[in-house]
A and B are shown apart, each in its own frame.
Chain A
Amino acid sequence: MDEARLAARLGVVIRALSRMPGGAIQQNWALDVTLPGGREAGWVLRTNNPGTLAVSRTRAEEFALLRAAHAAGACVAEPLLLCEDAAILGAPFFVMRRIPGTAAGHLLARQARDAGGEPTLVAAMGRALARIHAIRPPRPDLAFLGDPPADPCAAFVARMRARLDAAATPRPVLEWGLEALARNAPPPRPAALAHNDFRTGNLMVDAGALAGILDWEFAGWDDPAADLGWFCAPCWRFGNRGPGFEAGGLGPEASLLAGYTEAGGEAPGEGRLAWWRLAATIRWAVIAADQAGRFLSGAESALELALTGHVIPELELDVLHMVEAMDAGTA
């Protein structure tokens, strides 16, 4: 990283610059700066990793999403500056204010387990989700998201089948889950802005309070219940599979939904929520298969990608269990 060029572009003095851990798709850098007036600030710089997933948003699009979410009061880091000139760092980047706290999923889940669940925290997460979902099409600033799907559930099934076909590895258990989704699809609802990766691990928590929602690169127009199902899917509960930890392994689903409806979100109903929990499990398996595929094709050598493929059998067991419950009417 060329610090001098970056400092000149940002118009600040850089006191410290360090790569932050994590980020399979993007790189995040912690940036301590002194502003022209002498005030000090903590920022985060976000730029691309080589071999970025094709489904991922560009940094300019992610910046527009952050601006929209910040304006909607959805608890995100304030976006500060976008630079699309690849000459500065070799790839486009943007800068946002740094949020205190941790997003480490296993750590937060362990703390929640020790506390017997964190209903206040998950209610705040529900309120934040409702504010994101209040963003509705059409939005000229989010035109890159394309047209909203007329039937988000049918669109989801078609999208997952297309990705399985493209990957060309037969996956009978995932097909079993998709077939059950196709048979049990709830009626279409108007699409809203969905974050599409709203889960423990992407939610910054500081001193027990929600501090910021990270990683907006998968956002799109969708059934708002897609985010609730993703957050409450068994695979994102970080081992806290007992009752009272349905919401991201952190707290009760009832508290999440109470916060969600209190802030204006429409309660999804148990059938629609169960549909999107199963959809979430299948979607994570499809993403994991694609990530392992990048390792197997030789495109990337990261051990993390190689290991990600090994989450699929566990997800398949979850899929079989959820389909059984859905067909028995006990989902």
Chain B
Amino acid sequence: MQERPEARELLAAARGTLLERLLPALPPALHYEARMIANAMAIAARAAAPPPVPAALAADAACLAAAIRRGAFAPGTPGHAACAGYLRGLAEARARVSNPKALAR
């Protein structure tokens, strides 16, 4: 069992210090760098506590990618709707870590 605060909480606290204390004291030329660091820390914090991924998403991505390219799931094929739904879940699970704001659209 690990000590608290866990990685996610540490990153959140460090990110707060960066944005609230350091950023205002930095020259404007370094603001973009500071904001990138904050963004990287936010992504790392979300990845440190990954959301549960549906078991169906554990399929072999390479096989799936090749089958899609062959047209095996094109409109009119029996697996089309299931594949579309699966890809939606995959993209949403990935966005939940990388950029949760995109899920709100």
Q: Does A21 contact B (CB under 8 A)?
A: yes
Q: Are B69 and A316 in contact (CB under 8 A)?
A: no
A306 interface residue (CB < 8 Å to B): yes
A78 at the interface (CB under 8 A from B): no
Task: Verify B64–A314 contact, CB threshold 8 A.
Answer: no
Q: Which residue of B lies closest to A183 (CB)?
A: B74
B37 part of interface (Cβ distance < 8 Å): yes
Where chain B touches its partner, the secondary structure class is helix
Contact between A178 and B69 (Cβ–Cβ < 8 Å)? yes
Q: Provided the pairs A173-B87, A316-B91 are in contact, do residues A306 and B98 lie with their beta carbons within 8 angstroms?
A: no
User: A97 contacts the other chain (Cβ, under 8 Å)?
Assistant: no
Q: Contacts A172-B65, A179-B68, A327-B75 known; A313 to B91 CB distance under 8 Å?
A: yes
Residues of B within 8 A of A312 (CB): 94, 98
- Interface pair B62/A317, CB less than 8 Å apart: no
- Is B58 interfacial (CB-CB < 8 Å)? no
B33 contacts A by Cβ under 8 Å: yes
0 or 1 for each of A171-208: is its CB under 8 Å from B? (1 = yes)? 11101101100010000000000000000000000000
Q: Does A307 contact B (CB under 8 A)?
A: yes
Query: How far apart are A328's CB and chain B's nearest CB, in angstroms?
Result: 10
Q: Produce 1/0 per residue, B53-95, CB < 8 A to A.
A: 0000000011011101101011100000001100110111011
Docked pose: A171 CA to B33 CA in angstroms: 29
Contacts of A313 in B (CB 8 A): 91, 94-95, 97-99, 102
Interface size on A, residues (CB 8 A): 27
- The answer, yes or no, to whether B10 is at the interface (CB within 8 Å) is no
Chain A residue at minimal CB-CB distance from B101: A314
Q: Does A170 sit within 8 A of B, measured CB to CB?
A: yes
> Are A304's CB and B87's CB within 8 A?
no
Q: Which A residues touch B94, using CB under 8 A?
A: 312-313, 316
Is A311 among interface residues, defined by CB-CB distance under 8 A?
yes
CB atoms of A303 and B37 under 8 A apart: yes
| Complex-state Cα separation, A172 to B61, whole angstroms | 7
Q: Which residues of chain B have a CB within 8 Å of any CB of chain A? A: 29, 32-33, 36-37, 39-40, 43, 61-62, 64-66, 68-69, 71, 73-75, 83-84, 87-88, 90-92, 94-95, 97-99, 102-103, 105
Residues of A within 8 A of B (CB): 21, 161, 164, 170-173, 175-176, 178-179, 183, 241, 303-304, 306-307, 310-314, 316-317, 320, 324, 327
